[in-house]
């Protein structure tokens, strides 16, 4: 499906990778990993054809098609959501237009016996067969199913796409890729804007997908559930492992340990050789030996090892002060925007030490509830804080609050209190800021680096209640591990919104779920919650499909008992059907025309001067003729309608 030969990609600062040889076949499910800046997104762009390699070549099969979901999607169209998908397949568009054109000709032409008319019937039959072959008759249902799976409700199908947020546009683009069923799907962080339910649906879809999938993701569980092969970009090379992510990490750790040992031995050998060179170089009779050792050293391929070890220190964040037994109390809490009600009648007390995951699809009001708890948003009901409660809030746009002129170190030093300030460099190291990184200004940090810094700043701030809204967005797997470990050690209370299932697993002791405008509390695990949600979704969809299909199925079964017609019989039947439809259409047009004329004559007859006998006789004769013509036309129309109804068209 894809053959990569001697691939290389060069930037001004050097090669991202070179001399890459890979084979990707149908059914391959591949996770693409590597440090930030290693070239993961670049490789996807090369595979999609958006960029050209500096060296080597990429060969795709002639019939192969590619669907590429990027992180920088731009959709600016007034087209509504459903039409954006409905008209996204050029093959179906052409067939649809062809069928409409042929049908138009069949209903407007009257040369039923000509060869060209009969050829139209053949063309229509072939076009319909092609439309069925490309699943055209299931197309709209396929679109609706995919949109539902990705979290869209029916009432947004007809909304223009330029009214959607960036995250929902990304979902629309993903839906367009999936419904078109390409040979190869390339996904760059597909779970970033999906909720926890939609991620599970996407996993099931990709597991059943028969083509190749290559995905970049910081969601460990997503990689484990979808992929069976891992490509790692490291030190300008692409390493190939026949395992999903977690197994790959174990194997890679063993390999790195062996490489580090080999590197130590090599360094000892190099040092010994260099000492011999220095020793022999000074002696005339040993000069040739020295030159031989120098050449040997130059030919030695140095072992390079890129490790991703996170500082192993255990980070604990002491409470600012011990709060009372309860930290939050909500009374009749609710929020609505005009006619849109998000939630209502929340009456709940949060006790000291509770670890809460607030889950549910996007758009149900999770972030809004957190803002109501923080009292930064007005609404119905009240929120009370308990004794000695000190809240710290991490919003989705938290990085915007960082001072761009301060360094990484200064940013955390401003908020840290007490003895923990002595460990700031070690703590920053655990959040993957090491060496000179701590002296960088915030203004030059990447989005992921700013998120890590904002989280480090938050966890160093004095608090005993944390409110966290999507803290794992833009974090890589290692950074999420550091944050999870820190939260597991945190002795205070926290409420967290996240769609990362692996991150949440084992972190919380209860789940809040906004469902049907109410807040429900569950005491089972995240995995149990997801299973129940998935089962409910499948059951609801099955019931909807069963209800929708029940009547057509009866008709289908009835049709199945009909005797199949030969090709010539079907052609003759189609010709008769189109002839009758054409006659009915003309009769309807003639009826409308006659009714207008008779209506005009009605006014003339009312105003007749009966003293002029000749004019009166002519007018009444014309009037009667129109009425008889109308009656005859209506009889023709009725006869053709009955005849068409009596035709058995079930085998067409």
Whether 445 and 368 have beta carbons less than 8 Å apart is answered as: no
213 in Cβ contact with 67 (< 8 Å): no
| pLDDT tens per residue, range 221-269 | 999 999 999 999 988 899 999 999 999 988 888 888 888 888 888 888 8
Are the CB atoms for 4 and 187 separated by under 8 Å?
no
Tell me the C-alpha to C-alpha distance, in Å, between residue 280 and each of 266, 287, 290, 294: 21, 6, 5, 11
State yes or no: pLDDT of 425 exceeds 80.
yes
- Percent of the chain clearing pLDDT 70 (strictly above): 92
> CA-CA distance, 240 to 238, in Å (whole number)?
7
Q: How many residues does the chain have?
A: 652
At 68 the pLDDT is 95
Q: Answer yes or no: is pLDDT of 564 > 70.
A: no
| 515: β partners | 518
Q: N- to C-terminal Cα distance for the chain? A: 39
β-strand pairing of 66-69 with 2-11? unpaired
Residue 563 has pLDDT above 60, yes or no: no
- 604-611: which pairs have CB atoms within 8 A and are 24 or more residues apart? none
**pLDDT of res. 274:** 82
269-312 residue pLDDT tens = 888 888 888 877 767 667 777 788 788 888 887 877 766 554 45
CB 213 within 8 A of CB 547: no
* Residue 637 pLDDT: 81
Each residue's pLDDT tens digit, 4-59: 999 999 888 888 989 999 999 999 999 999 887 788 999 999 999 999 999 999 99
Q: How far is it, in rounded angstroms, from Cα 481 to Cα 314?
A: 12
In this predicted structure, the answer to whether residue 558 has a pLDDT above a threshold of 60 is no
User: How far apart are the C-alpha atoms of 419 and 431, rounded to whole Å?
Assistant: 19
| Per-residue confidence band for 82, with pLDDT thresholds at 50, 70 and 90 | very high
Q: Please write the tens of the pLDDT for every residue from 427-464.
A: 888 777 878 889 999 998 877 788 889 888 888 888 89
The pTM for the full model equals 0.70
Whether pLDDT at 609 is above 90: no
State the sign of the Cα–Cα–Cα–Cα dihedral 400, 404, 410, 414.
negative
Which of 217, 225, 248 is closest to 476 using CA atoms? 217
Segment 627-635 shows an average pLDDT of: 85
* Cα–Cα distances in angstroms (integers) from residue 62 to residues 20, 65, 183, in the given order: 22, 9, 11
Kindly report which listed range (117-121, 262-266, 383-387) carries the lowest average pLDDT score: 262-266
- What is the structure's pLDDT at 554? 43
The token pair that represents 360 in the structure block: 């549910």
CA distance 595 to 579: 24
Residue closest to 640 by CA, chosen among 588, 583, 589, 586: 583
DSSP states of 289-303 as a string?
HHHHHHHHHHH----
Tokens of residue 134, six digits: 């490309």
Average the pLDDT over 536-543 and give the result. Answer: 71
Q: Are 370 and 358 in contact (CB under 8 A)?
A: yes
pLDDT at 614 over 90: no
Q: How confident is the model at residue 559 (pLDDT cuts 50, 70, 90)?
A: very low
Average pLDDT over every residue of 630-647: 82
Reading the block at residue 26, the tokens are 């149908």
Whose CA is closest to 328, among 464, 429, 213?
A: 464
**Stretch 478-493: mean pLDDT:** 86
pLDDT digits (tens, 9 = 90+) for 146-203: 999 999 988 899 999 988 888 899 999 999 999 999 999 999 999 988 888 899 899 9
Q: How far is CA 53 from CA 1, 20, 277, 446, 523, in A?
A: 18, 11, 42, 25, 52
pLDDT of residue 92: 94
User: 349 with 370: CB under 8 angstroms?
Assistant: no
């Amino acid at each position: 499906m894809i053959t990569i030969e001697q691939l290389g990609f060069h930037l001004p600062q050097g090669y991202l990778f070179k001399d890459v040889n890979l084979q990707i076949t149908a059914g391959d499910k591949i996770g693409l990993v590597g440090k930030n800046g290693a070239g993961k997104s670049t490789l996807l762009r090369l595979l999609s054809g958006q960029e050209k390699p500096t060296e080597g070549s990429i060969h795709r099969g002639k019939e192969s098609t590619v669907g590429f979901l990027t992180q920088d999607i731009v959709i600016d169209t007034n087209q509504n959501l459903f039409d954006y998908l409905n008209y996204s397949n050029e093959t179906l568009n052409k067939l649809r237009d062809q069928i409409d054109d042929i049908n138009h000709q069949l209903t407007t032409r009257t040369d039923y016996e000509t060869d060209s008319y009969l050829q139209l019937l053949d063309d229509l039959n072939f076009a319909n067969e092609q439309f069925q072959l490309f699943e055209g008759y299931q197309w709209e249902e396929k679109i609706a199913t995919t949109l539902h799976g990705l979290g869209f409700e029916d009432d947004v199908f007809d909304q223009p796409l330029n009214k959607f947020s960036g995250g929902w546009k990304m979902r629309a683009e993903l839906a367009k890729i999936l419904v078109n069923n390409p040979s190869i799907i390339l996904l760059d962080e597909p779970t970033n804007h999906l909720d926890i339910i939609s991620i599970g649906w996407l996993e099931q879809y990709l597991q059943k997908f028969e083509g190749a999938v290559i995905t970049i993701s910081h969601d460990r569980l997503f990689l484990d559930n979808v992929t069976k092969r891992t490509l790692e970009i490291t030190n300008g090379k692409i390493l190939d492992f026949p395992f999903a992510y977690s197994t790959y990490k174990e194997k890679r750790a063993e390999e790195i340990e062996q490489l580090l040992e080999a590197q130590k031995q090599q360094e000892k050998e190099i040092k010994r050789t260099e000492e011999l060179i220095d020793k022999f170089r000074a002696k005339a009779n040993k000069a040739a030996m020295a030159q031989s050792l120098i050449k040997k050293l130059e030919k030695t391929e140095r072992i390079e090892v890129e490790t991703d070890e996170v500082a192993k220190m255990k980070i604990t964040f002491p409470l600012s002060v011990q709060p009372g037994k309860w930290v939050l109390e909500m009374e009749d809490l609710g929020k609505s925007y005009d006619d849109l009600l998000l939630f209502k009648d929340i009456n709940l007390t949060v006790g000291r030490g509770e670890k809460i995951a607030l889950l549910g699809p996007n758009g149900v009001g999770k972030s809004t509830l957190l803002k109501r708890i923080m009292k930064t948003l007005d609404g119905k009901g009240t929120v009370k804080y308990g004794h000695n409660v000190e809240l710290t809030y991490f919003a989705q746009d938290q990085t915007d609050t960082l001072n761009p002129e301060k360094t990484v170190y200064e940013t955390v030093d401003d908020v840290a209190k007490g003895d923990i300030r002595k460990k700031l460099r070690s703590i920053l190291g655990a959040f993957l800021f090491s060496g000179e990184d701590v002296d960088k200004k915030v203004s030059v940090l990447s989005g992921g680096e700013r998120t890590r810094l904002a989280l480090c700043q938050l966890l160093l701030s004095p608090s005993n209640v944390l409110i966290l809204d999507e803290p794992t967005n833009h974090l890589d797997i290692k950074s999420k591990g550091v944050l999870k470990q820190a939260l597991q050690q945190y002795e205070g209370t926290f409420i967290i919104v996240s769609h990362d299932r692996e991150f949440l697993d084992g972190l919380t002791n209860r789940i809040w779920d906004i469902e049907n405008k109410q807040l429900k509390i569950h005491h089972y695990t995240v995995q149990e919650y997801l299973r129940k949600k998935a089962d409910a979704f499948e059951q609801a969809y099955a019931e909807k499909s069963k209800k929708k299909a029940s009547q057509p199925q009866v008709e289908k079964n009835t049709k199945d008992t009909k005797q199949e017609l030969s090709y010539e019989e079907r052609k003759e039947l189609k010709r008769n059907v189109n002839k009758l439809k054409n006659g009915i259409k003309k009769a309807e047009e003639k009826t409308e025309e006659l009714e207008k004329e008779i209506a005009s004559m009605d006014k003339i007859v009312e105003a007749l001067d009966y003293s002029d006998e000749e004019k009166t006789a002519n007018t009444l004769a014309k009037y009667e003729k129109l009425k008889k013509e109308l009656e005859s036309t209506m009889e023709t129309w009725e006869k053709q309608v009955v005849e068409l109804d009596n035709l058995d068209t079930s085998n067409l």
